[in-house]
Structure 1
Amino acid sequence: MIYLVLSILISSLLFVIFKLFDVFKINTLQAIVVNYAIALSFGLFTSSTPLSISEITQQPWFTGAFCLGFLFISVFNVMGITAQRNGLSVASVAGKMSVVIPIIVGIFVYKESVGLVKIIGILMALIAVYLSSAKSDTSPVKFKNLLFPLLLFVGSGCIDAGLKYVESTYVSDGAVPMFLATIFGCAFILGTFVVITQMINGKFKFHWKNLVGGIALGIPNYYSMEFLIKALQTKGLESSTLFTINNVSIVILTTVFALAFFKEKLIKKNWIGIGLAVISILLVASA
C-alpha cells in the first residue's frame, strides 16, 4: 500500500509542476524532453539487469514500450497545456477519469463483466470531463476549452490500458526499471526529433530555466511510474480497486492544491464535475 500512497502524492505533484511552468514561463516541450532524459537516466541507474541496446530491442516488451513512449510524450505535453489553459482541477479530472478506458478495454479484451452500474459510471465520467471544463455556469462549454481535456482523457486512458497489458503480459518484476527506462528513452528520442525540427525552422530558443524545469519534472515522473507499477504487482490488490483509489485521491488532492496554492476559482459546474468524477470512479470500480 505504501507504493500506492507514494504514487498518489508524486502524481499529484506533476500537475503542480506543470502549473508552475506557466508561472515561470518555462517552455513545456523543452522541459518535457529534458524530463525524459532524466527519467531515462534514473531507469538505467536503478536497473539491476543492464542490457545493451540490441538486447533491449529483443525483449518481448520492447514494441509496447516504444508505443507507450510515443503516448507518454504526447499526453504529457497535452497535460501541461491543459493544466496551464484550463487549470489544475480540469487537468486532474480529465486525466484521471480516463480510468474508464482501461475498464472498457477489460470488458472487450478480457471479457470482464459489465452491468448497468458500470455503464452509468462510464457515462458519468464523460459528463464530469465536460462540466469540469466549463468556464461559465450559464453558457455552454466551447470546443476550444474542451479539446485538450478530451485529448488528455483519451490519451491517459490509452496509457493506463497499455501499461497494464504490457506489464502483466511481458514484464517481470526485475525488468521494471529497464522497461520504464526504455519507455522514457523512446519518448526522449521522439521529443528530440521535434526540438531538432524547431531548430531547423528557427523556432527554437533555449533558456536555462527550461533545463531546470525538466530536471524538476523528470525525477518525480520516473518514481510516479515505478511506484504505480510496483503497486500493480502487489498481491491481493485488484487493479480496478488500485486505479480507483489512485485516481480519486489524485483528483481530490490536486483540487486542494489548485485552491490552496494557485487560488483557482471553480464555478458551480466545475464542482459538480469534480463530484461526478469521484462518484463515477467509485461506481465503475464497484460494479
Structure 2
Amino acid sequence: MIYLLLSILFSTGLFVIFKYFGIYKVDILKAIFVNYIVALSMGFAFAEKSFSVTEIPKQPWFLGAVFLGALFVSIFFVMAKTAHENGVSVASVAGKMSVVIPVFFGVFLYNESVTILKIAGIIIALIAVYLASVKEEKTTHKNAGLLLPILLFLGSGAIDTTLKYVEVTHVPKEEVSVFSGSLFGIAAFFGLIILLVKSIKKRTSFGVKNIIAGIVLGVPNYYSIVFLIKALQTKGFESSTLFTINNVGIVIVSTLVGILLFKEQFSVKNKIGVVLAIIGIVIVAMA
C-alpha cells in the first residue's frame, strides 16, 4: 500500500509542476526532454544490480520499453493538442477515464476477481473522476471533434495496460530501476527527434529555465513510475483494484491541491465528485 500512496503523491507532484510551467512560461517540450534524461540517469544510478548498457537491447522487456517510450511522447502531444482543441476538462476526463482499459484487461488476462461490490465501486469511481475533473471553461470548442479525446483515452489506457503486462511477464524486482531508466531513455530519444525536427523549422536557444524545469520534473516523474511498478509487484494487490485507486487518488489529491495552492474554482459537481471518489475507493478496497 505504501508504494501505491507514494505513486499517487509523486504523480500529483507532476500536476503541480506542470501548473508552474504555465505560470513561468516554460517550453514544455524542452523540459520534457530534459526530464527524460534525468529519469534515465536516476534509473541507471539506482539500479538494484550491476548491468551493462550493451545488454539492455537483449533484455526480454526491451521491446515493451520501446513501445512505452514511444507512447509516452505520443500521448504527451495528444494530451496537449486535446487540451488546446477540446479544452482542459475534456483532456483531463479522457485521460483519467482510461482506467477502464487496464481494469478490463486485468479481469480477462489475469483472471482477477469480479464481484458486485467491486463493479459498483469502479462505476462510482468513474463517475467521480468525471465530476471531479470537469471544469466550467470560459471558452467553447464548438468545432472540436472526438478523435483527439478518443486517442488520448486509448493511449493512456494502453500505457497502463502495457506497463502491467511487461511488469508481469518480463521485469524481475531487481530490474525495476534499469527497466524504468531504459523506458525514459527511449522516450528521450523520440523526444530528441521531435526537437531536432522543430529546430530545423525554427531555431531557438534551449534556455537555462527549461533545463532547470526539466530537472525539477524528472525526479517525481521517475519515482511515479517506479513506485507504480513496485505497487503492481505487490502480492495480493490486483491491478484492477490498484489502477482504480491510483487514478481516482490522483484526481482527489490534484483537485485538493488545485483548490488550496492555486485557488481553483470548486463547483458543486467537483465537490460531489470528490465525495464519490472517496466512497468508490473504499468500496473497491473492501472488495
Q: What is the rounded CA distance, in whole Å, between the counterparts of 2:165 and 2:214 in structure 1?
A: 29
Query: Quick one: which amino acid aligns to residue 212 of structure 2?
Result: V
**In the alignment, structure 1 residue 248 sits paired with structure 2 residue 272:** no
The equivalent of 1:70 in structure 2 is 70
Query: Quick one: which amino acid aligns to residue 118 of structure 1?
Result: I
The equivalent of 2:174 in structure 1 is 174
Q: What is the rounded CA distance, in whole Å, between the counterparts of 2:235 and 2:132 in structure 1?
A: 37
Q: What is the rounded CA distance, in whole Å, between the counterparts of 2:145 and 2:124 in structure 1?
A: 20
**Counterparts of 1:106-255 in structure 2 under 5 Å?**
106-110=106-110, 112=112, 118=119, 121=122, 125=126, 129=130, 132-133=133-134, 135=136, 142=142, 144=144, 150-202=150-202, 204-255=204-255
Q: What is the rounded CA distance, in whole Å, between the counterparts of 2:132 and 2:253 in structure 1?
A: 19
Q: What is the rounded CA distance, in whole Å, between the counterparts of 1:145 and 1:222 in structure 2?
A: 33
The one-character-per-residue Cα deviations of 1:199-238 (angstroms, maximum 9, x if unpaired) are: 1112544221111111010011001111111122222323
Q: 146-155 or 185-194, which moves further after superposition?
A: 146-155
State the 1:62 CA deviation.
0.6
Identify if the C-alpha distance between structure 1 residues 83 and 266 changes in structure 2 by more than 3 Å, giving closer, same or farther.
farther
Q: Note if contact 1:95-1:153 (Cα within 8 Å) is conserved in structure 2.
A: yes
**Which runs of 5 or more structure 2 residues have no equivalent in the other structure?**
none
Q: What is the rounded CA distance, in whole Å, between the counterparts of 1:8 and 1:279 in structure 2?
A: 17
Q: Note if contact 1:19-1:80 (Cα within 8 Å) is conserved in structure 2.
A: no
Query: Quick one: which amino acid aligns to residue 136 of structure 2?
Result: K
> 2:98 aligns to what SS in structure 1?
helix
State the 1:109 CA deviation.
3.4
Task: Provide the aligned C-alpha RMSD in A.
Answer: 3.6
Identify if the C-alpha distance between structure 1 residues 207 and 64 changes in structure 2 by more than 3 Å, giving closer, same or farther.
same
> 1:57 aligns to what SS in structure 2?
helix
Q: What is the rounded CA distance, in whole Å, between the counterparts of 2:187 and 2:265 in structure 1?
A: 34
State the 1:164 CA deviation.
0.5
The equivalent of 2:13 in structure 1 is 13
Q: What is the rounded CA distance, in whole Å, between the counterparts of 1:123 and 1:2 in structure 2?
A: 24
Q: 49-58 or 143-152, which moves further after superposition?
A: 143-152
Q: Note if contact 2:102-2:239 (Cα within 8 Å) is conserved in structure 1.
A: no
**Which runs of 5 or more structure 1 residues have no equivalent in the other structure?**
none
Q: What is the rounded CA distance, in whole Å, between the counterparts of 2:148 and 2:255 in structure 1?
A: 18
Percent identity reads 51
Q: What is the rounded CA distance, in whole Å, between the counterparts of 1:59 and 1:232 in structure 2?
A: 20
The equivalent of 1:24 in structure 2 is 24
Q: Note if contact 1:99-1:157 (Cα within 8 Å) is conserved in structure 2.
A: yes
The one-character-per-residue Cα deviations of 1:149-189 (angstroms, maximum 9, x if unpaired) are: 65443322111111010001111011111111111011000
Question: How many residue pairs get matched?
Answer: 285
Q: What is the rounded CA distance, in whole Å, between the counterparts of 2:90 and 2:262 in structure 1?
A: 13
Q: Note if contact 1:130-1:141 (Cα within 8 Å) is conserved in structure 2.
A: no
The one-character-per-residue Cα deviations of 1:26-77 (angstroms, maximum 9, x if unpaired) are: 0111110110000000001011334334311111111101000111122344
